[in-house]
Amino acid sequence: AVFDVKPRAGIIPANDFYLVLLKFRPTAARKYEYGLKCVINHEPDMAQTVTLIGEGAIPTVKVLQVEELRRGLSPFAPTPPLYMKPTCTGLVSSRAITLHNPVRIPIVFKVEVPARLANVFSVSPTMGLLRGNQDCALTVSFAPRAYVDYKLKLNIKVRALAGDPPDLRDARMFGEAVPAEFVHETSVNIIAPGSGAVLSFDPPLMDFGTLLVNTTEDIQFGLVNASDCDVQYEIHHLVRPEKREVIRARSASMMANSSIAVASGPSTPEPNSIEPMPSSGRDRLLLADKPAGVIGARSRTAVKLTFQPLRAAVFEVALIVRVTALDREGNRITLTAEESALLRVGDKARLAETFAVTKAATDGQGENLDDDEHSVSSEDIEAMGLRAEVRGKASFPTVVFQDVRLLGGGLGGSTRQLWASLGLEHLNHELAQPLTPAEVKLNLESSPDLTKLKKYDIKFVPAPLGTAKAVVSVQLCNPGFLQTSFEIHYPNEREIELPQWADEGEPTMDQLKENRIIDELKCFDVYPRAGVLSSGESVTINFTYTYENRDYDGCHELKVLLKVAQGKQYWLRLKGVTLAPSDCCLYRCVPPEDSAHRIMPVAVGTSVDQAPVQTTELLNVGEADLQYEVDVSSLKAGRDDNFGFQSMVLENPMGTISGRSTALLRWRFLPLEAKEYFYSCKIKYSGGAVGQAVTREDTIRVYCFGYDPRTENPHTMTMPGIKTGLVPPPYQLLRMPAQVAALSHEKVALGRIPQRAVVQETVVLRNTCDQAVEFQWEASHPLLASGVVRIEPLNGRIAPQSFESVKVVVEGGCAPCIVEQQIAVLVKLAAVTQPKRNNRSRLESRLEASKSRNAASEASHRSIVSRPTKSRDANLASTVLPGGRQPHLPVPAMSYTPGQPPAAGAGDAGATTSVGFGNSQTAGATTAYDDSASMRSGTSAGGGRSRGGGGTAPNLPPSFLHLSLYFEIVEEDAFISLFSESVNAAAVQRPRQYIPAHAAVVEGGQVLGVVPHVEKAHAEAELSGSAESPGAHVLGGVFSGLFADLLSSSEVLDSLHALPATPQVPVYAEMRRKDSIVLRLERAMGESGLDASVPLPPGELKAALVKLGLKSRTAGVKDAMRTLESGKGGGAAATVGLREWMKGCPAEMTLAIEEALDERDQVAAVAVQEGRQRERDEADKDETDVAATKLQGRLRMRQAKKDVEAQRFKLSDEGKRQHEMANKLQNLQRGKLARVRAKELQAKKAAVRRQMVMADPDFQGTASEIMESTISNLLAEVLNAEFDVRDSPHMVVQGRVD
């Protein structure tokens, strides 16, 4: 009802009154009138009538300004907008709009501004109360941020003063009305044009270029006032984080491979803050002569900006100007609180926008600091308004050694070895650092103390007397922004020549030795010794050492001063050693600052039997053989500090190294923690001429690191750039004058490879001269000899200015290992064939030429019938002949089996012994780098003479190139579980070959370290320190490896993970001692009212068993129950004794009776437990719980009534119609979901089919062959200059005109 009265009946005492509450609830916006009749004392004649009049209204609101604009317009015309005056960026304007309540009821209004324009517009007030026919003025403030037209849509919502009253059933209950919902909404469109910035910088982008540190530069810019009023300005500046040219390491774990501690990224600056621009101060980066002032309307002023950097860095400064409008008298215009807040928000927004626009430039700091790819343009800065950008660079003159080469590239002459032995990583790091205050002071002194300078060693590889001089060439580059000049001085040189009468004093013994080495022995030479380098330019500096005398026991040393103008100064100590012809000398390519090897990091969590093998190289630079022995006692002594575990094991602590060759020490490292490990071992070696053998000692230091594979991956870390000089260049930068060929890249990083996988890479060997070149790879290298690495072709001939594509294939058919080695290739000019006089007739010459062409054609072309293909290899690999033999095609006499070293005489470096990499049977594998024999003789590396009689060798000597290989081979399970990588990404050959794992050092039942399998059992017994028989250790190692493989398999791990984390705890009834089944059965029958002590009829016994819960699940139980039912053995009236019957029961029946009794006892125990719990709950109840229970009951009753009403509505016509429509909507949604799922299932099936096709060996072989041929053809076309790869592709469109 619209009108309601409460109470509707009552008693009024004599001479008293009674209050009656009238309620009016309109249902529409109209006027209501109703006559309320009141009957007194049940007398209709005495009824009194009261007329109730009420008016219903809907809350609404009107904007008077909009209503005035709508007068005279059509009712269907759009709402006209309101306009604000144009406003400059940095200023604020306001206008008022009036809200009117056209109804008689009070309303509450709320004004909403879109979030995207909350920093541009503000409204005050945003909420208020309007009584009937009352007005309210709103103030809209506008502070533009850009030169655009803003469109604001103000949403004004209104609601009633209050909503429904609370549901009060008792006078003691209290509550408040529910807030009413918004029932009406109107919108106001406001158009506010934003003008340009009130102040603008001219120019908005100022670049000071590159300055020397501690120098100044001035730039003048203008401030332009584009508004119609005077403004007061104040310039603030924000210095962004400096872009320092720091050197970044590969990762925290890769620090183990670095001899220096380098920063991991740009230095972290102090928190950004806006500061006023200073006008003076030597310690400030920027100065302005007019940081604040007043600019008249439509005028400009000039400001001088001074840039004075105090350190080397790239600086970016944002200039932000804050303005205040002035009136005609020069006073500040008073602003409201909302306008001031809006301006403050605009300032903060402009600051945030400054950071957002220039974030790409801030984040894009890398190797090339002057790259403008991510820079902010002047148009972007000018569009932001009220700000400008200032850039500048400050630097010291810097140089970096980018590449190093040894003439001929012989023993110890690879770039990787020279980089380590010369310590260029540490030297480049020092050269790249800014000058310290002490170094600046030293450069300013007229007579500096050069003894304070740091010293760095330049070591030449020792060689026997009479060896050709060593020429080490380094490329010195200027990576900075300033022009750099350098000088190299001998210690006896002076910048100022002293007069003859000046007395220098007596020279010391060291000075006499240096003067003799310079003037008399002339062991060392450096050229050029001065130069000027512009930004990015480089120069080649040659350091030479001659092996022509053995004065001072063959040890020569000379200090030269490397001086960079206004930059760094260092002493370079040139060290050379000349050996006697019968001497042996052990040499290691390690950094001179700590003489330590750095092996690759190993993942924490690697199993003991999968500890990877790593190698370090020992060089015998003498002519005589030497025997070495490494004392590994220090490795065992480190167990105490490593939880009793030996993390480092050396497999071959002793061996023999032939003259002018190398040996590889095989280390196995297994970390327990992600930290750095350091080991130091004494090495003793002896050798020399017969009767003159000498013994020397040295120390081998090894740094290694353990890393967490969940957060780090050394194979995916970004390598430092070439300009940093932290690592050797991946390709050759320095061209040697006597070099006849070059590799496209000298470093091949293949990453992590699972066992049995095959990975390949292509390297191009290019002939850089105008004559034919012959090449021969180092076939005796352990990686090639063992078949882990395969290079195709191993040797060959390259035409002038041509190239040869060399395929490097890595087959993971070995135990886990980490390879960081280099393989040498010998290149030399081919012999020139001298023409011979032909004494044969013309017919004989033609016949001989035809025979030669046929032979060459037969040798160069093989039929598809006998030539191996990818599909044929896959088919042969999947076929096994009787006896375990593998089928193969007929092998020509001059071919070789992949993975095996070529036979002697096939063009390789002679016969080689197959050495198994990662196998303990390899005792000190040596690699011959005998460059003297090959250089002196004009023969090829294979020992065979050049074809063509009467050939003469060119003058250029042969040289060695080196290809560095970096990869890691891990076990397949570890590849997936430990490193979380997909083994499907690698091609694994079939059938899978067996690879033996490595055993563990066990002592007293505790794992102490890792060693490989050894052929002799006593070697393992000696390592483990046990006195048992060797056979027991062999069996123990084999079975421990089998059990380790079994427990680490994925199936066992999945089963263990499937077990519950918390075992199921049995109830107390299962832990008690139980009686026999007969007693329990008699007790149970007694509880059911049946006396089991006397014989029972079979039918009653069966009924009792069924009542106890016996389940007939098996055939034996069913037969026993049928026997009781039929009463076999004594007739239907016969009785059965329980105990006698139990003795003849089958086992299945006894088990079923026990299961029924257990289930009955369990049900009884649970019932007792629940009863006790109910008793405890009832005992704990109080009055509060009782009241809560009653309230819950009432709430349930109320909910039940609502459910009944909902059910009745559902059965009504309207409910049925809504239910039918809901079913239709649900069916439509289900159909849509079904179609989506069908598409997903179809895509999934297509993906599975694609995976099946990609897993097909024939498809893989075809795809690999296509890619290989495509890449080879592309390389041939690029290298033959058939097209330029830098040109964008062209699209040819053919069409026809109708």
Position 808 pLDDT exceeds 60 = yes
DSSP string, 814-864: SSSEEEEEEEEEEEEEPPBPPPPP--S-HHHHHHHHHHHHHHHHHHH---T
Phi, psi of 1289 (to 5 degrees): -70, 150
Number of other residues whose CB lies within 10 A of the CB of residue 492: 11
**Cis preceding linkage at 203, omega within 30:** yes
The pLDDT score that the predictor gives to residue 237 is 84
Q: Which residues contact 610 (CB under 8 A, 6 or more apart)?
A: 816, 970, 971, 974, 997, 998
Residue 155: its H or E element: strand 149-160
Band of pLDDT at residue 352, cut at 50, 70 and 90? low
What is residue 882's predicted lDDT score, i.e. its pLDDT? Answer: 47
Q: How much is the pTM?
A: 0.57
For residue 1263, pLDDT beyond 50 = yes
CA nearest 1138: which of 1090, 1083, 1082? 1082
CA dihedral (1133, 1134, 1139, 1141) positive or negative: negative
pLDDT tens digit sequence for 1196-1225: 899 999 999 988 888 898 888 888 898 999
Higher-pLDDT residue of 791 and 148 is 791
What values do phi and psi take at 448, rounded to 5?
A: -70, 155
Residue 573 near residue 457, CB atoms below 8 Å: yes
Rounded Cα distance between 1078 and 1086, Å, is 12
Provide the CB-side half-sphere exposure for 117 (13 A, CA): 22
- Say how far apart CA 194 and CA 120 lie, in whole Å: 10
Reduced to 3 states (helix: H, G, I; strand: E, B; else coil), residue 4 is strand
- Rounded distance between C-alpha atoms, residue 194 and residue 84, angstroms: 10
- Residue 876 is predicted with a pLDDT of 56
Is residue 115 predicted with pLDDT exceeding 90?
no
- Minimum mean pLDDT range among 123-132, 583-592, 977-986, 1099-1108: 977-986
Helices (H) and strands (E) in the chain, counts: 26, 57
Q: Tens digit of pLDDT for each residue in 605-633? A: 898 888 999 999 999 999 889 999 999 99
Rg (CA), the chain: 48
CA 995/CA 424 separation, integer angstroms: 40
Q: Among the ranges 77-91, 166-180, 366-380, 1238-1252, which has the highest mean pLDDT value? A: 1238-1252
How does residue 347 score in pLDDT terms, banded at 50, 70 and 90? low
Residue 107: is its pLDDT beyond 80?
A: yes
pLDDT of residue 908 exceeding 60, the answer is: no
For residue 743, is pLDDT > 90? yes
Distance (Å, rounded) from C-alpha 802 to C-alpha 768?
8
- Please determine, for residue 1129, whether its predicted confidence score (pLDDT) is greater than 80: no
Residue from 608, 986, 997 nearest 811 by CA = 986
Assess contact for 427 and 346: CB atoms under 8 A: no
Residue 83 has phi, psi (to 5 degrees) of: -120, 150
Q: How far apart are the C-alpha atoms of 621 and 577, rounded to whole Å? A: 10
pLDDT digits (tens, 9 = 90+) for 561-574: 999 988 889 899 99
List the structure tokens of 406: 């040894």
- From the list 819, 827, 794, the residue with the least C-alpha distance to 808 is 794
Q: Most confidently modeled of 65-74, 303-312, 325-334, 761-770?
A: 761-770
Q: What is the mean pLDDT of residues 691-697?
A: 84
List the structure tokens of 159: 């609601």
Would you state the pLDDT for residue 667?
Answer: 93
Mean pLDDT score of the chain, rounded to an integer?
77
Check residues 1233 and 717 and name the one with the higher pLDDT.
Answer: 1233
What is the rounded average pLDDT of the residues 431-439? Answer: 84
Rounded to the nearest angstrom, the gap between the alpha carbon of residue 1206 and the centroid of all alpha carbons in its chain is: 58
pLDDT band at 348 (very low <50, low <70, confident <90, very high): low
The DSSP bridge pattern shows strands 82-83 and 182-197 to be parallel
Side chain identity at residue 1087, one-letter code: E
Query: Which region among 701-715, 909-923, 1058-1072 has the lowest average model confidence (pLDDT)?
Result: 909-923
Portion of the chain with pLDDT greater than 70, in percent: 74
Which pLDDT score is estimated for 802? 92
